[in-house]
Amino acid sequence: MEFPDQRITNQPPSLEKLQTAFWLRRQKPFAISAVLLLTFTFSCAPNNPLVAAFKDVDTDGWYDENRNQHIKLFIDSIENNTGSSLNVRPAIAIGDRIVTRNNEIVDTTVPVASRTIGTWGMPERTDSFQADLRITQNDIFTSQSVRFSFSSVNSTFTVSHNNYVVHFRTVRTLFADRSPNDAAGDADEDGLTDIEEAKINSPSRSVGNPLEKDLLLVVGFTHPAWDITRKSQDLLTTVFFNKKRINLNIYTVANPGLNITPGQIRINGAVPNRNHKIAFAEAELMRPQLLPEELSELFHVLILAEELNDGVWGRADIARPANDLICRSHLPALGADFLEYQAKDIMHELGHNLGLCHPTESVASCPTGAIPLAERNAGLSTMGTPAEAAGPVEVMTEALSRPLDYTPGQWQNLDLRRLRPE
Give the SS3 label for residue 329.
coil
Rounded distance, CA 390 to CA 148, Å?
51
State the virtual CA torsion across 137, 143, 147, 151 in degrees, nearest 10: 40
Note the pLDDT of residue 24: 35
Task: Note the pLDDT of residue 422.
Answer: 83
Give the whole-angstrom CA distance, residue 22 versus residue 14. 12
Model pTM? 0.86
Indicate the domain borders of the chain.
54-192
256-261: long-range pairs with CB below 8 Å, 24+: 257/202, 257/204, 257/205, 258/200, 258/202, 258/295, 259/292, 260/218, 260/290, 260/291, 260/292, 260/295, 260/299, 261/289, 261/290, 261/291
Give the integer Cα–Cα distance in Å for 272 and 275: 8
- Spell out the CATH class of 54-192: mainly beta
What are residue 96's phi and psi, to 5 degrees? -95, 5
DSSP 144-164: --EEEEEESSSEEEEEEETTE
> What phi, psi does 341 have (nearest 5°)?
-55, -50
- Contact call for residues 62 and 177 (beta carbons, < 8 A): yes
pLDDT at site 339: 92
Which value, to the nearest 10 degrees, does the dihedral of the CA atoms of residues 399, 404, 406, 407 take?
-80
Q: What is the pLDDT of residue 49?
A: 55
Question: Which residues does the chain have with pLDDT short of 50?
Answer: 1-43
- Dist. CA 254–CA 206, nearest whole Å: 17
pLDDT at 122: 77
Rounded CA separation 135/163 (Å): 9
Give per-residue pLDDT as tens, 379-391: 899 999 866 666 6
